[in-house]
Structure 1
Amino acid sequence: MNLLDFLFLVVAGFFSGLVGFVTGLASIVSYPALLSVGLSPVSANMTNTVALVAVGVGALANSSREVADTGPKLVRWSLYSAAGGTIGALILWLAPEGSFESVVPAMVVFASLALLLQPKIRELSGGGDRPGIYSAALFAVAVYGGYFGAGAGVIFLAATLILTSETVWRATILKSFFLGIANLVAALIFAFSGQVHWVAALAMALGALAGGWCGPPVVKKIPPSVLRVAVAIAGFVLALWLWVK
């Protein structure tokens, strides 16, 4: 990897961090960028997971109070995220390549549609928190995040806004935190795989750290309904990209 590739990945990392915090679609920027500098799909996926840990770190540095306000649930939900990320990473490492990607576009479309229709779904369900179902959903999203991750933020936002009483702002903060945990435990596992390109991961992480830090102030200025619809539309675009690539 030459210096231009390194700088390119730093810039791509910044935009993936910013886009990832705002929409949950960091991989739509970072994954193609890693492929473009010559990494294989599996290596790019693992390197991407390692690098995107920095998005959560950057976001947490600029929104730690909001995360702490979650209260006792924070520890329980963090454990679900860690367990899911571990399982997802092991699936990627051990399962045949391509065994899961075939269903990913459909999952992202479903989550985007649920996000778009979230107010109506909440109204029909009677509102209220559903902690048991939400915990299971969080675990499932973390498994997916540890395995591949593209669109995991959209799925997380949809589940959080439908199954809890959290606001769009809080859901966006928690998305980066819990997916950051899933990425972290997956990154620890991938570190022993021999397929992480550490120079590329460093370049991407430097940019993603700054992008993640810039994310909370940006989201705070966007009206919740606009943000929800924008993320849903971006999710449909991501699903199309995943389907045709």
Structure 2
Amino acid sequence: MDLTHAALLLAAGLAAGTVNAVAGGGSLITFPAMIAVGLPPVAANVSNSVAVFPGYVASVAGSRADLPPWRTLAPLLPTTVLGTIAGSLVLLATPASAFEAVVPFLVLGATAVLAFQDPLRRLVGHPRDLSPRRRTVTLQAMVALGAVYGGYFGAALGVMLVAGLALVLDASLARVSAIKNLLSALVGLTTLVVFALFGPVNWAAVAVVAPATLLGGYVGAKLVRRLPPIVLKTVIVVFGTVIGLYLLWRAQR
């Protein structure tokens, strides 16, 4: 790896860490950067999943004041781990082409859910009007789907988690974003373990990108707390739409 490649990966990691904390989708910056420096697609995907993990941890540190009590979060953690393991094993065991054809529609669908959150709530019921059992089951299902996706590909994981969580939680978008950061960090930790043991990780690329995502993640999490809810929601919706259209274009190539 020469200095030009290292500089490209460093800049990509800093931008991705910030974007992941604010809206999610930073992997669409680091993944192409790893491809650009010569890594094969699977190795780039696996190495990217490992490299962005520190950024998620920094995002949790930056948004910890907005996290709900531990008893609210604890039931979601096993679901996140198991879903991520399932997605990671699918990535290692099957061709990526079939799932990548579906990814753009998942991202665009999640973005639409967030954009039309209020009409959908009127249709399916506001979280405070749902029975505790239905709310719990729906929340677990949303987290499980997001974790499987995060284990397999991960790009726009934040958009998908925010969309799902905002639909079933009666909470501010800042709190939803903080929960998203925690779950994303757990997805990142799980993929790190799985891919470190079984995946073709390029540790040189990880060593460059990971510290940059750490700084970017902390800065981005602090930025979220300063943004008005409507601005934050608009940023996530716009970014999710751009990501989805980009993935759709790439899938058609």
Q: Shorter-normalised TM-score: what interval?
A: over 0.9
Conserved 8 A contact 2:92-2:199:
no
The answer for the alignment partner of 1:104 in structure 2 is 103
Conserved 8 A contact 1:52-1:183:
yes
Residue pairs, 1:182-201, within 5 angstroms: 182-201=187-206
The answer for the alignment partner of 1:116 in structure 2 is 115
**2:50 counterpart of 1:50:** yes
TM-score, normalised by the number of residues in structure 1: 0.95
1:165 and 1:194 map into 2 onto residues whose CA distance is: 39
Aligned alpha-carbon RMSD (Å)? 1.4
Unaligned runs of 5+ in 2: 129-134
Conserved 8 A contact 2:127-2:167:
no
Residue pairs, 1:1-245, within 5 angstroms: 1-67=1-67, 69-128=68-127, 130-245=135-250
Matched length:
244
1:10 and 1:200 map into 2 onto residues whose CA distance is: 9
2:69 and 2:242 map into 1 onto residues whose CA distance is: 32
Conserved 8 A contact 2:79-2:143:
yes
Conserved 8 A contact 2:107-2:156:
yes
1:184 and 1:175 map into 2 onto residues whose CA distance is: 14
The one-letter code of the counterpart of 1:171 is V
Unaligned runs of 5+ in 1: none
Q: Deviations over 1:72-104 (max 9, x none)?
A: 121211111111111111110111231211100
Deviation at residue 236 of structure 1 after TM alignment? 1.2
Conserved 8 A contact 2:53-2:210:
yes
Deviation at residue 194 of structure 1 after TM alignment? 4.7
The one-letter code of the counterpart of 1:153 is G
Conserved 8 A contact 2:60-2:221:
no
TM-score, normalised by the number of residues in structure 2: 0.92
Q: Percent of counterpart pairs with the same letter?
A: 33
